Amino acid sequence: MRAVVDFLILIRAVNCLIAALAVWVGALLTALELPIGDVVLTSVVAFLVCAGGNILNDVVDLEIDRINRPNRVLVRGAVEIPRAKSLVVLLSVIALVLAAFISLPVILMTALAVVLLFAYNLRLKRIPLLGNLVIALLSAMTFLIGGMAAEPALVWTLPGPLIPAVYAVLFHLVREILKDVEDIEGDRRVGVSTLPQKIGTTASLTIALALFLGLVVLTLVPIYYDWFGRVYEIITVYLVDLPLLALLIFVWGNPTGKLLRIGSVALKAGMLLGLVALLAGGQQI
């Protein structure tokens, strides 16, 4: 039982489930009649790609995590490094094989996601802001691949999966910056260069706050055009936008380790609420 728990922690199962759910949101925002089998399979693909990427991240970040997150599975030795590397390859290969049974657009998007995850973990994460942007783009791709599983020709039409994809880019950029500020000491010790190291904590959090303000403005666009209905409006404005904006302003003024962690967790909760809002909105189209 402990081994199963460690595995779920290692792959960050909650994050993987969010990726799988995002596929469904993208599909629902694309087509009225869904090819259920293809969407289910695509959500499994997204889960597996995310899981493999998370394991690879922990393998590469082993020395950083000894400082920043000493309770991580690999740091504790609960899973051996060679086994973790094998799992990365296995999960990625299974995802690509499953994607091949869906459609050409889905397998191409899956292959791109796998390549980006390897490039991010092995090189790009050490380039300030670029690594953050790659993670943000990968999160956006989950909505787009859901749309491609449903109806590739409608992926880029509005309203559709492009809307949550843009939201995801901004949302994840904000969270990635907060995490970099939180991890600044551990990153510095092992020689990883991040945005907060280059421009400082205050400037980095100012950028994060500005990005979130931009996101708040964009979330109002569907409300203006009445695309997603009243439930979307209530959840987005009153449960996500306003509470998180207030919290981020507070974190900006008091960037302690505890508040940064709270901000990061709150942003993840906000992502889940945002998905609920979009699922409700998808029923209105």
Residue 134, domain CATH = 1.10.357.140
Q: Which has the closest alpha carbon to 217: 197, 241, 238, 189? A: 241
Q: How far is CA 194 from CA 124, 133, 176, in A?
A: 11, 12, 10
Predicted local confidence at residue 19, as pLDDT: 95
Reported pTM: 0.92
106, 99 Cβ separation under 8 angstroms: yes
Q: Look up residue 248 and give its two tokens.
A: 């981020």
Side-chain half-sphere CA neighbours of 58 within 13 A: 30
**Can you tell me the distance from the alpha carbon of 36 to that of 127, in angstroms, rounded to the nearest whole number?**
40
Q: Give me the domain span that covers residue 262.
A: 2-282
Which residue, chain included where needed, has tokens 């490039």? 119
On the question of pLDDT at 31 being above 80, the answer is yes
Residues 6+ apart with CB under 8 A from 5: none
Look-up of token digits 């492009």: 162
End-to-end CA distance of the chain: 43
Q: Contact 139/168 with Cβ under 8 angstroms?
A: yes
pLDDT for res 73: 83
Mean pLDDT value of segment 162-182: 94
Helix (H, G, I), strand (E, B) or coil at 158: coil
The predicted pLDDT at position 129 comes to 85
Count: domains in the chain: 1
Pick the more confident residue, 66 or 278.
278
125: nearest Cα among 68, 47, 76, 56: 56
142: which 2 tokens?
């989950």
pLDDT of residue 60: 87
Mean pLDDT across 242-256 = 94
Taking the C-alpha atoms of residue 131 and residue 120, their distance in angstroms, rounded to an integer, is 6
> For the segment 201-219, what is each residue's pLDDT rounded down to a tens digit?
999 999 999 999 999 999 9
